[in-house]
């Protein structure tokens, strides 16, 4: 036993061997994903940039007015915050960051919601997926940059890859929690009326779990946004690069301005998702 403990387990060698095997045998697949992902994100960023900033600000402010229950707080903050970012000449960086966050969040939701449903329906899947989620949430975000660069090089795509791994767990967990919290009486009533498994899922469980699912999506978006500075270390463009550059050059003022822009974007996206969930619940009640 003592000899076993004294012999170092070559875990790093095993991981290196696995990554080398993937990069050698799946290089064409990763290259395809990199090209496809870069094309999609360039198209989205260019599309957002084509909209005049002032028109974009007006559209988002109007949306904030209606999503915020026609109250003045959210649209006022949205208007002033986006105007400040535009005034500081950070608009193109904002659009790049917005693209990274939206794409990362969409991929996380597309993967996370079905995984959460699977966890809620199968104890075996729950027992397998839960420790994987624990690993994903507790591993430092910087570590995800290593396989991202190995598979995709540098740029926006590896930034999205690392962001998805880091931000995926909340959507999975909250979807699972929401469906498991659906009252047993309602599930039994659905079964007694002859509802199929798909009807029960989409007409009963998912609508009742919507609040939890949106809470998970909200946390996923915030985690994806928190990765923008880390992702900038591997070439992801946007506001994160400005923060990273300010840190490297000890430029406190620039760092504060870029950081403030990220905070403004985070608050707007957080309030939008919260109010979207609230307005959905209100319309269902009516």
Mean of the pLDDT values across residues 123-130? 92
Examine the pLDDT at 283 and tell me if it is beyond 70.
Answer: no
At residue 28 the predicted structure's pLDDT band, cuts being 50, 70 and 90, is: confident
Q: With pLDDT > 70 as the criterion, what percentage of the chain qualifies?
A: 95
Percentage of the chain with pLDDT > 90? 46
Least confident range of 8-22, 89-103, 173-187, 261-275: 8-22
What pLDDT is recorded for position 279?
A: 61
Q: What is the pLDDT of residues 228-249, one digit of tens each?
A: 888 888 888 889 999 999 988 8
Work out the mean pLDDT of the chain and round it to a whole number. 87
Q: Give the DSSP letter string of the chain.
A: -HHHHHSPP-HHHHHHHHHHHHHHHSHHHHHHHHHHHHHHHHHHHHHHHHS-HHHHHHHHHHHHHHHTTS-SHHHHHHHHHHHHHHHTT-HHHHHHHHHHHHHHHHHHHHHHHHHHHHHHH-HHHHHHHHHHHHHHHHS-GGGGHHHHHHHH-SSHHHHHHHHHHHHSHHHHHHHHHHHHTS-HHHHHHHHHTT--HHHHIIIIIHHHTHHHHHHHHHHHHHHHHHTHHHHGGGT--SHHHHHHHHHHHT-HHHHHHHHHHHHHHHHHHHHHHHHHHHHHHHHHH-
Q: How far apart are CA 207 and CA 211, in angstroms?
A: 8
Residue 232's contacts (CB-CB under 8 Å, 6 or more residues apart) are: 159, 238, 240, 241, 243, 244
d(CA 142, CA 16): 17
pLDDT confidence bin for 25, thresholds 50/70/90? confident
d(CA 158, CA 151): 8
pLDDT digits (tens, 9 = 90+) for 43-81: 999 999 999 999 999 999 999 988 877 788 889 999 999
Q: What is the pLDDT of residues 153-200, one digit of tens each?
A: 888 898 899 899 999 999 999 999 999 998 888 888 887 877 788 888
- What is the CATH T-level fold of the domain 26-50+88-285, as seen in this structure? MetI-like fold (1.10.3720)
Average pLDDT over residues 12-38: 86
Nearest alpha-carbon partner for 227 in 163, 153, 131? 163
Query: For the ranges 87-91, 203-207, 214-218, 278-282, which has the lowest average pLDDT?
Result: 278-282
């Amino acid at each position: 036993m003592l000899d076993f403990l004294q012999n170092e387990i070559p875990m790093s060698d095993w991981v290196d061997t696995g990554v080398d095997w993937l990069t050698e045998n799946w290089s064409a697949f990763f290259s395809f994903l990199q090209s496809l992902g870069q094309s999609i994100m360039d198209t989205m960023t260019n599309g957002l940039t084509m909209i005049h900033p002032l028109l974009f600000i007006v559209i988002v402010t109007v949306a904030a007015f209606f999503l915020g229950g026609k109250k003045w707080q959210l649209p006022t903050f949205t208007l002033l915050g986006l105007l400040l970012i535009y005034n500081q000449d950070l608009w193109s960086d904002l659009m790049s960051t917005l693209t990274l966050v939206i794409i990362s969040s969409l991929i996380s939701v597309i993967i996370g919601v079905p995984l959460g449903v699977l966890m809620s329906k199968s104890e075996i899947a729950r027992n397998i997926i839960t420790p994987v989620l624990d690993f994903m949430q507790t591993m430092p975000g910087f570590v995800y940059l290593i396989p991202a660069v190995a598979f995709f090089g540098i740029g926006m795509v590896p930034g999205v890859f690392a962001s998805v791994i880091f931000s995926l767990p909340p959507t999975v967990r909250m979807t699972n929690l929401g469906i498991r919290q659906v009252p047993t009486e309602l599930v039994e009533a659905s079964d007694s009326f002859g509802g199929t498994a798909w009807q029960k899922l989409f007409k009963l469980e998912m609508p009742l779990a919507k609040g939890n699912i949106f809470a998970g999506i909200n946390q996923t978006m915030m985690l994806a946004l928190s990765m923008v500075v880390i992702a900038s270390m591997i070439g992801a463009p946007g506001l994160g690069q400005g923060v990273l550059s300010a840190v490297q050059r000890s430029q406190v003022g620039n760092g504060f301005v870029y950081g403030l822009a990220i905070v403004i974007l985070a608050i707007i996206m957080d309030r939008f998702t919260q109010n979207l969930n609230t307005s959905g619940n209100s319309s269902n009640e009516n």
